[in-house]
């Protein structure tokens, strides 16, 4: 029994095991196998884990277990565990997970986050809460209004700590920490580790158990990644073409700006593709509704900014598109990590403008330590070795003009020498629409058979 990889063997109480059975979980994921015993033992934890690894359950289950064990003794009504998250969506999802896992326990979880009425939350906070899930800003609002006290906190979780620091929450986090008892258990989860995170971990954690289940590149390796070189002005048409021809459903499209997300969402909708935008300027109920419709398949595409997308929890999201590359290469890894989760196969396609995104592309390829496969779509994509002066006019419509490969090898001074670009056919033809791998041509850089890359047997490790 002891050596079995089961939730029971990890020492979780029966009501939790029952909830896991209800949820259909049979086997703990690696972060759960390593993290749950560490948290049950009461020590601090430093975990390197991305979304999709099962990290939420790795802290929620042992927290519920520990609180349950002492529930009778210390019933003050004030929260005893605090889970801080960077975004409202993540807070709502963590709260939902805690409720699911704790459904057979007499413990109450509640989430406070911005974008919805403070009043409604403060009313709900008058009832006893055992586990509080919160975004930092709204939590501080409630504390300053006297709606809640952190004086009984025994366990603190910083979820997606790297993102919280990116979003400038460090001061808020420190203020919040000052309002809690110094003696407590601290758990820090982060997908990436830089000096800031290490600094925070050093000041927060005491002799932590370190768990690293997802080295930065594992997710990246599991995802079938490709890119298409396309001028910024041609991206929208290419995306519409790909979604329609390849029949992509449940597509998460990343946009660099909120405004860009809105505009693209409108354009796709006008093209007959049900789409919504998800970003921080949207009212909370609009975001919740969009997410819900996307999950239920009523929306084909969700266009999201990086921060908003962090909260999207959809199992095995099949398709991620980078409409623009992120400025921070690690964000690329986060983005594509939204697909290919828990062993499922996923695809990530990036639309890259050779005029102004080559720097980001090179940085990304350095981080994932591999070149990303180039796909040519005749009539849409261009050759990355060409300078903007050689590119056809922006408004060129005729396929012969749009097919920007006439000068494909005209620029031997290209900065990008790593891509075997010279192998790219000079005049790729668009494949017949009903052919397999529609619209895709032989990609440069790797020889992948004329039937298109969907037929490739290439897959990376798929166990989680
Ligand atoms: P997370 O990394 O916490 O965002 O979890 C990713 C997804 O995996 C969520 O939809 C969970 O419900 C699901 N999940 C977590 N643990 C397990 C497990 N042991 N077995 C199956 N699914 C799981």
Residue 436 confidence class, pLDDT cut points 50, 70, 90: very low
Cβ–ligand 1 distance for 55 under 6 Å, the answer yes
Nearest CA among 451, 437, 419, 447 for reference residue 229: 419
Mean pLDDT of 294-301: 89
Please tell me the pTM assigned to this model: 0.57
What pLDDT is attached to residue 427?
A: 28
* Weakest mean pLDDT among 248-257, 264-273, 370-379, 445-454: 445-454
The predicted-structure confidence for 67-89, as pLDDT tens digits, reads as follows 998 865 567 789 999 999 999 98
More confident residue, 14 or 294: 14
More confident residue, 344 or 129: 129
What pLDDT is attached to residue 291?
A: 85
What pLDDT is attached to residue 408?
A: 30
More confident residue, 137 or 414: 137
The ligand 1 atom at the shortest distance from the C-alpha of residue 53 is 2
Cβ–ligand 1 distance for 25 under 6 Å, the answer yes
Q: How many whole angstroms from 52 Cα to the centroid of ligand 1?
A: 6
Q: Is the Cβ–Cβ distance between 178 and 184 less than 8 Å? A: no
Nearest protein Cα to ligand 1, atom 5:
54
Q: How many whole angstroms from 159 Cα to the centroid of ligand 1?
A: 15
What pLDDT is attached to residue 51?
A: 76
Instruction: Write the CB contacts of 336 (distance below 8 Å, at least 6 apart in sequence).
Output: 219, 220, 223, 225, 320, 346, 348
Cβ–ligand 1 distance for 53 under 6 Å, the answer yes
Mean pLDDT of 215-233: 77
Nearest protein Cα to ligand 1, atom 10:
315
User: Domains of the chain (ranges plus CATH)?
Assistant: 8-212 (3.40.50.300), 223-459 (3.40.50.300)
Percentage of the chain beyond pLDDT 70 is 77
Mean pLDDT of 191-215: 85
Nearest protein Cα to ligand 1, atom 1:
54
Pocket-testing residue among 5, 27, 29, 103, ligand 1, by greatest number of atoms within 8 A of Cβ: 29
d(CA 266, CA 273): 10
Percentage of the chain beyond pLDDT 90 is 54
Residue 314 confidence class, pLDDT cut points 50, 70, 90: low
Q: Is the Cβ–Cβ distance between 336 and 225 less than 8 Å? A: yes
Mean pLDDT of 112-132: 94
The 10 Å Cβ neighbour count of residue 177 is 20
Nearest protein Cα to ligand 1, atom 20:
25
Nearest protein Cα to ligand 1, atom 14:
54
Instruction: Write the CB contacts of 440 (distance below 8 Å, at least 6 apart in sequence).
Output: 375, 376, 377, 431, 452, 453
Cβ–ligand 1 distance for 147 under 6 Å, the answer no
The predicted-structure confidence for 27-37, as pLDDT tens digits, reads as follows 898 899 999 99
State the average pLDDT for the chain: 79
More confident residue, 218 or 384: 384
Cβ–ligand 1 distance for 54 under 6 Å, the answer yes
What pLDDT is attached to residue 344?
A: 59
Pocket-testing residue among 6, 32, 53, 56, ligand 1, by greatest number of atoms within 8 A of Cβ: 56
Residue 327 confidence class, pLDDT cut points 50, 70, 90: confident
Angle at Cα 168 formed by Cα 162 and Cα 170, nearest 5°?
A: 75
Q: How many whole angstroms from 373 Cα to the centroid of ligand 1?
A: 30
Cβ–ligand 1 distance for 29 under 6 Å, the answer yes
């Amino acid at each position: 029994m002891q050596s079995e990889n089961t939730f029971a063997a990890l020492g979780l109480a029966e009501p939790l095991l029952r909830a896991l059975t209800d949820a259909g979980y049979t086997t703990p994921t690696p972060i759960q196998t390593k993290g749950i015993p560490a948290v049950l033992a009461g020590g601090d934890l430093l975990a390197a884990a991305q979304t999709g690894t099962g990290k939420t359950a790795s802290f929620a289950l042992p927290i519920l277990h520990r609180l349950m064990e002492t529930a009778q003794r210390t019933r003050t009504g004030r929260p005893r565990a605090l889970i801080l998250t960077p975004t409202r969506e993540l807070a709502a999802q963590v709260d939902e997970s805690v409720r699911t896992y704790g459904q057979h326990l007499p413990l109450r979880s509640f989430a406070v986050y911005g974008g919805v009425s403070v009043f409604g939350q403060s009313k709900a906070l008058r009832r006893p809460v055992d586990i509080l899930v919160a975004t930092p800003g709204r939590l501080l609002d409630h504390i300053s209004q006297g709606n809640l006290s952190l004086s009984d906190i025994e366990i603190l979780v910083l979820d997606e700590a790297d993102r919280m620091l990116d979003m400038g929450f460090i001061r808020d986090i420190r203020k919040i920490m000052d309002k809690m008892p110094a003696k407590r258990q601290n758990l820090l989860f982060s997908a990436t580790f830089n000096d800031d995170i290490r600094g925070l971990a050093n000041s927060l954690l005491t002799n932590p158990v370190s768990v690293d289940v997802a080295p930065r590149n594992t997710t990246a390796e599991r995802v079938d990644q490709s890119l298409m070189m396309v001028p910024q002005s041609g991206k929208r048409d290419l995306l519409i073409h790909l979604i329609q021809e390849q029949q992509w459903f449940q597509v998460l499209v990343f946009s660099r700006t909120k405004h860009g997300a809105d505009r693209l969402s409108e354009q796709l909708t006008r093209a007959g593709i049900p789409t919504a935008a998800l970003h921080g300027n949207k009212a909370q109920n609009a975001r919740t509704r969009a997410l819900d419709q996307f999950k239920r398949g009523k929306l084909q595409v969700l266009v999201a900014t990086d921060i908003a997308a962090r909260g999207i929890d959809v199992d095995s999201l099949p398709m991620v598109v980078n409409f623009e590359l992120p400025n921070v290469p690690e964000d690329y890894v986060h983005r594509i990590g939204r697909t290919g989760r828990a062993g499922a196969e996923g695809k990530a396609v990036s639309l890259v403008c050779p005029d102004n995104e080559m720097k980001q592309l090179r940085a990304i390829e350095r981080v994932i330590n591999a070149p990303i496969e180039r796909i040519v779509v005749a009539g849409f994509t261009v050759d990355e070795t060409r300078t903007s002066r050689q590119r056809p006019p922006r408004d060129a419509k005729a396929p012969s003009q749009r097919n920007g490969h006439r000068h494909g090898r005209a620029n031997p001074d290209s900065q990008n020498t790593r891509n075997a670009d010279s192998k790219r056919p000079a005049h790729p033809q668009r494949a017949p629409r009903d052919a397999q791998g529609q619209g895709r041509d032989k990609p440069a850089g790797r020889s992948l058979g004329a039937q298109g890359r969907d037929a490739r047997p290439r897959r990376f490790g798929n166990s989680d």
